[in-house]
Amino acid sequence: MNFHAREAMGARLCNEALDEPIDEIERASMMDAAAQKLTELFDVLRIDHANDHNTRDTPKRVAKMFVEEILAGRYTAPPRITEFENALAYDQLIVTGPIELRSMCAHHLMPIYGSAYVGILPSAEGKIIGLSKYDRIVDYFASRLQIQEELVKQIGQYIEDMTKPRGVAVRISAVHMCKTQRGVRASRRSRMVNTYYWGELAKNAELKREFLDECISLDRAGQE
């Protein structure tokens, strides 16, 4: 299907993936069309991109950046998950992090950056996935226009679906440049923290405490 045919089928929400990943041809035509629109935006903003050595290639560069990096999680397939049987029926809490988080705010198109932590309470009958996959899952959902409240949930629900654990927790601590670079111009140390809990992790206060303690110790270890 070409880009324009898909366009006619209607758009998706900013943090939803398209029904099917796009192929090379569609990717190229999407980038061309986006570069054209960015050129028009520069015209509207009265930036002389035709004669300005700094901005001459910027529309093309930015179009490529949107399609291949910032919004890549909408146009590509989810990361392939290597599953391992939980042979020894390990059922204690696993916490991994900090995972680098880079996203873009859906309201202002400004960067969001920080750390994610994932907690999994495996079930004896469920699957265990390779540790690096959590980083890839975070990056996949972050590579869209996001708001942090929906991002933690998307990550958590995907891990639930893939591994059928007894519980999941996802915590994100991030700087929103729409708040530090503009608007209220908050300190770059100002962050937003939120956590999504599911299953036994949502119900059990002791497990929540254990997860949060591990997040703190991982954060500290990362600074050593």
Residues interacting with Zn ion, by CB under 5 A? 105, 107-108, 178
Identity of the residue, 56 or 107, whose beta carbon is nearer to Zn ion in the bound complex: 107
**Calpha distance 151→203 (Å, rounded):** 21
Identity of the residue, 141 or 211, whose beta carbon is nearer to Zn ion in the bound complex: 141
Residue 70: strand, helix, or coil: helix
Q: Which residue is nearest to Zn ion (CB)?
A: 178
Length of the chain: 224
Identity of the residue, 22 or 174, whose beta carbon is nearer to Zn ion in the bound complex: 174
Q: How far is CA 103 from CA 28, 48, 61, 140, 202, in A?
A: 23, 29, 18, 10, 26
Q: How far is the CB of 88 from Zn ion (least distance, A)?
A: 45
Identity of the residue, 163 or 180, whose beta carbon is nearer to Zn ion in the bound complex: 180
As given in the structure block, the two tokens for residue 161 are 């679906």
Q: How far is the CB of 64 from Zn ion (least distance, A)?
A: 23
Q: How far is the CB of 180 from Zn ion (least distance, A)?
A: 10
Q: How far is the CB of 178 from Zn ion (least distance, A)?
A: 3
- Say if residues 175 and 114 touch (Cβ distance below 8 Å): yes
